[in-house]
Every structure is written in C-alpha cells, then in structure tokens.
Structure 1
C-alpha cells in the first residue's frame, strides 16, 4: 500500500510537472510570438528612421542646390545690373557727344546764316 501511495504520489508529481512543462511551453510560445512582434516593430521603426534619414539627406541636397541657384541668380543679377549701368553710361556719353555735335552744327548754321545775310546786305 505504501508503495502504491508512493507510485500514486510520483504519478501526481509527474502530472504536475507535465502541466508545468506544458504551461512553460505555452508561455515560451507566447514569449516567442511577442518577441517576433517586438522584432517586427523594431524593424519597422528602423526602416522608418532610415527612410526619414534618407529623406532628410535628399532635402539637405535639394536645399544645397537651391542655395547654389540663388547664389548664381545673385551673381547673374549683379552682373546684369553692372552691365546695365555700363550701358547707361555709354548711352549718356553718346548723348553728350551728339549734343556737342548738335551745338557745333547749330553754331555753324548760325555762322553760315550770318555770312549769307551779310553777303546779301553787302553792295
């Protein structure tokens, strides 16, 4: 009888251990599933971060290109302004020259008119 009770006790312990083992296997499977979820979340976060980093680098490059275009525009604008100022100065000089020629021609016309008048009035 003691032997039977001992066997029964051992069987009960085995059953308890099997239950615990089964529970641990279930818990292990749940833990593994949760770890897979965490891993997937981390991978998604990493992918998103890499995408944002890539987008940030692309934006940085675009900003650099825009800054260069702006600088080029300022250079062209400055050169254009300088060229325009030089053109205005050349035109002003031509105008002064033309006015001087006009004044000289007016003087010559007046002189010729005076000479003709004197010639007509002369006996």
Structure 2
C-alpha cells in the first residue's frame, strides 16, 4: 500500500470532466509547479476526464472513474455519486492527502 509519510505533503487533485481540457490542464500546471517547488510532494489525481493519459505522461499517479455522461442510462445519478464517493474515500484512505484541490464548476454530491 502506498501512503504519504506523516512529514510528507500529499495533494489530491480532483478536476472535473468539462467540455474540454481546461480543468485538467489547469490542475496539471499547478501540480507541476508544486512538484518543482517541493520535489518530495506526492501528487495524486482522481478525475472523470478521458484524458488520463496526460496525467500519467507527466509522471503523476491517476485514478479514473468514467463521467456520468458516458455511463449507461441505467446508472442513476445517485448510484454514480455513491461510486464516486467510495472511490474518493478509498483514495483518501490509501494516500492520506493533506490537501484536496477541486477544479470544476459544480462539485459532485459524492465529493461533498
């Protein structure tokens, strides 16, 4: 299991999946700058963006949950939010971030 050491910073970025790549690229720019300022900082991403490859190409660990918009119709919004919440809860339990950075217009119910 990978966890943040108690004396190490861990930041979890949660960009939403908008119509483009704005939220994701903004978070990537901030994450790269944070890593440059503090090379010991662990950077984790959890996103609904289909562009997970951009996160991985930068050398960051990324977790992905498909956006509700691409899930089958039988996946109800409440079920999707619960799935999001459970994934997020597990990521937080494993990595123990001391900072969560959300970038989006509307936070998912599973995030709140």
Same fold (TM over 0.5): no
- The structure whose residues are more often strand, as a share, is 2
- The structure whose residues are more often helix, as a share, is 1
- Return the TM-score normalized by structure 1: 0.18
- Return the TM-score normalized by structure 2: 0.19
Q: Which has the greater radius of gyration? A: 1
